């Protein structure tokens, strides 16, 4: 996967910026994840699962829905670790 840098906003690519802006800009991980992970990889996994549940709902692989297929492809380009890093630096560290 090639990484495109979204120069204007400082994110790896447009998909990461759009996801952060629309789902996580004012998101407090501690409110949504009991025992909020303080490890980048664990938090990235939680953020990815949360986003997919919120946006995709229940995805039935047996009966594909075209908008969901496109959204899954979109999410495959999101740099979840980068969003998690931002959260750890800006949200979780502020609570400590």
∠ CA 85-89-92, nearest 5°, is 105
Question: Does 50 map to a domain?
Answer: yes
Residue 9 lies inside a defined structural domain of this protein: no
CA–CA dist 90, 66 (Å, integer): 36
CA dist list (Å): 29 to 56, 57, 82: 20, 20, 15
Backbone angles phi, psi at 11, to 5 degrees: -100, 160
Looking at the 3D structure of the chain, how many domains does it have? 1
pLDDT mean values, one per 10 residues, the chain (96 residues): 55 92 89 85 93 80 76 93 91 56
- Residue 81 is predicted with a pLDDT of 96
- Tell me whether residue 3 is in a domain: no
pLDDT at 1: 41
What's this model's pTM, rounded to 2 decimal places?
Answer: 0.79
**Residue 10 backbone zone (phi > 0: left; psi -120 to 50: alpha; other: beta):** left
Distance CA 52, CA 96 (A): 28
Parent domain of 50: 14-95
Task: Quote the pLDDT of residue 40.
Answer: 94
């Amino acid at each position: 996967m090639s990484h495109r840098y979204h120069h204007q906003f400082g994110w790896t690519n447009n998909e990461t910026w759009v996801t952060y802006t629309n789902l996580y800009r004012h998101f407090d991980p501690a409110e949504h994840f009991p025992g909020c992970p303080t490890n980048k990889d664990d938090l990235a996994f939680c953020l990815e699962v949360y986003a997919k549940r919120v946006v995709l709902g229940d995805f039935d692989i047996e009966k594909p829905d075209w908008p969901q297929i496109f959204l899954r492809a979109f999410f495959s380009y999101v740099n979840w670790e980068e969003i998690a890093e931002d959260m750890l630096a800006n949200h979780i560290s502020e609570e400590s």
